[in-house]
Structure 1
Amino acid sequence: MAANYRAMCRARSKAERFSKLSIVIEETDETLFWLEMLEELNYVQQEILLDLKIKTEEVLKTTSSYRKMLKD
């Protein structure tokens, strides 16, 4: 997520920024998926996962809102 976000910050145009931000959103959603899988498999303590999931969902919401703003 972070490397793709950095690439988005260095985009040369609005279209490139939108495209790279879409990748950030996709990667963030994939991260959330893997955190949910770890939760279901009981590989990591619930308290740790809860915090990570909350932060990941926050990043997902924020970047999705930003992408929507870029689209307008």
Structure 2
Amino acid sequence: MKNIIKEKSFAFAVDIVNTCRNIQTEQKEFIITKQVIRSGSAIGALVREAEHAESKKDFIHKFSIAQKETNETLYWLELLEATQHLSNSLFIELHYKATELLKLITSILKTSKTKLNN
């Protein structure tokens, strides 16, 4: 069975790592890119952790952290763009993908919380 959030979060992490690697090589910017790699790759890692959650509450907790990491990634992407380390076109692409992940994660959280309370 296809797991959209698992696939999209992994693909996003790959995009983030490759983008930051290019910025590090070409622009020698390491501080912000390390933060982006950390938060951008944590999303997929948390989704994977949630697959084997110990309980519904644990599942919700892991997805809540993934939601925070996605929001943090959006911040770092905005900062990279504002400081001209990221082209506008690449920013738009990555921002769109992160926003899409945020919407998926938020939807999963809402559904899971509703099921937990019923």
Tell me the TM-score range normalised by the shorter chain: over 0.9
Corresponding position of 1:51: 93
Structure 1 position 38, deviation (Å): 0.8
Q: Which runs of 4+ in 1 moved over 6 A?
A: none
Tell me the number of residue pairs that the alignment of Structure 1 and Structure 2 aligns.
Answer: 72
Structure 2 unmatched ranges of 5 or more: 1-42
Higher relative CO (Cα under 8 Å, sequence separation at least 6) belongs to: 1
Corresponding position of 2:59: 17
- Normalising by structure 2, we get a TM-score of 0.59
Structure 1 unmatched ranges of 5 or more: none
- 108, 112, 117: which one aligns with 1:66: 108
Q: Which of the pair has more CA radius of gyration?
A: 2
How far apart are the structure 2 equivalents of 1:40 and 1:7?
Answer: 33
How far apart are the structure 2 equivalents of 1:66 and 1:32?
Answer: 19
How far apart are the structure 2 equivalents of 1:64 and 1:57?
Answer: 10
Offset from partner CA, 1:26-70 (integer Å, 9 cap, x none): 101100110011111111111111100000000001100110111
- Normalising by structure 1, we get a TM-score of 0.95
Q: Which amino acid aligns with 2:110?
A: K
